[in-house]
Amino acid sequence: MALHQERGIRVVVLETDRLVFREAMAADAPFVLALLNSPGFLEHIGDRGVRTEAEAETYIVERMIGSYRQHGFGMWVAKERKSGRPVGLAGLVRRDGLDMPDVGYAFMPQAWGQGYAQEAAAGVMRHAREVLGIGPLAAITSPDNYASMAVLKKVGFTFQGMITLPGAEQESTYFTA
């Protein structure tokens, strides 16, 4: 894993064979806006109410960068190593109702079917354990997100049952590893 510093900011957090993960910056607002409003994100993760680049920038600063500062981890921008193009987000999230960090990932539809979710989930798990020293990990999905459930099982998560998180309108599948 390479860790690059740029003016005190960790630019690259972790690397996998085909992806490079870095902390989000305000300049990522157009990409984050597109991802948060993509059909798969809205259907399986939920509507974050982000409709403009300004709202995406606020989301990045308050939610993503805020998590880095508060927890030392968060959702990172996943870029293709070859092209440098952002294709998704992946990382660790602290959620009310879960007593361990949650492994999360979301990719643009153009990146689906290439194994990026599995590569990202495995990389985040490895980083959590080997670099951050975080033990058990959780993961949740919407009950109809069969592709994500398959990814979680492939990287070593075990289905524990259904869970309703505080403030959630529906149950989620609950996995641990």
Tell me whether strands 9-15 and 4-6 are parallel, antiparallel or unpaired.
Answer: antiparallel
Q: What CATH number is associated with residue 36?
A: 3.40.630.30
Domain count, the chain: 1
Per-residue pLDDT, averaged over 146-166, amounts to 98
Whether 69 shows a pLDDT value over 50: the answer reads yes
Looking at per-residue confidence, does 5 or 119 come out higher? Answer: 119
Domain span holding position 116: 4-176
| Cβ–Cβ < 8 Å for 7, 23 | no
Per-residue pLDDT, averaged over 8-14, amounts to 71
Radius of gyration (C-alpha) of the chain in whole angstroms: 15
Percentage of residues in the chain with pLDDT exceeding 70?
94
| Cβ–Cβ < 8 Å for 89, 78 | yes
pLDDT score recorded for residue 10: 53
Q: Which residues contact 99 (CB under 8 A, 6 or more apart)?
A: none
pLDDT digits (tens, 9 = 90+) for 73-123: 999 999 999 999 999 999 999 999 999 999 999 999 999 999 999 999 999
User: What are the C-alpha distances in Å from 21 to residues 4, 15, 127, 164?
Assistant: 11, 6, 11, 30
pTM above 0.75, yes or no: yes
Look at the block and give the residue holding tokens 């294709």: 87
Q: What are residue 14's DSSP bridge partners?
A: 21
| Cβ–Cβ < 8 Å for 70, 92 | no
Q: Report the distance separating Cα 77 and Cα 84, nearest Å.
A: 11
Percentage of residues in the chain with pLDDT exceeding 90?
90
Q: Report the distance separating Cα 177 and Cα 96, nearest Å.
A: 18
DSSP-derived 3-state class of residue 88: strand
Per-residue pLDDT, averaged over 145-152, amounts to 97
Give the mean pLDDT of the chain: 94
Q: Which residues contact 52 (CB under 8 A, 6 or more apart)?
A: 33
pLDDT score recorded for residue 12: 87
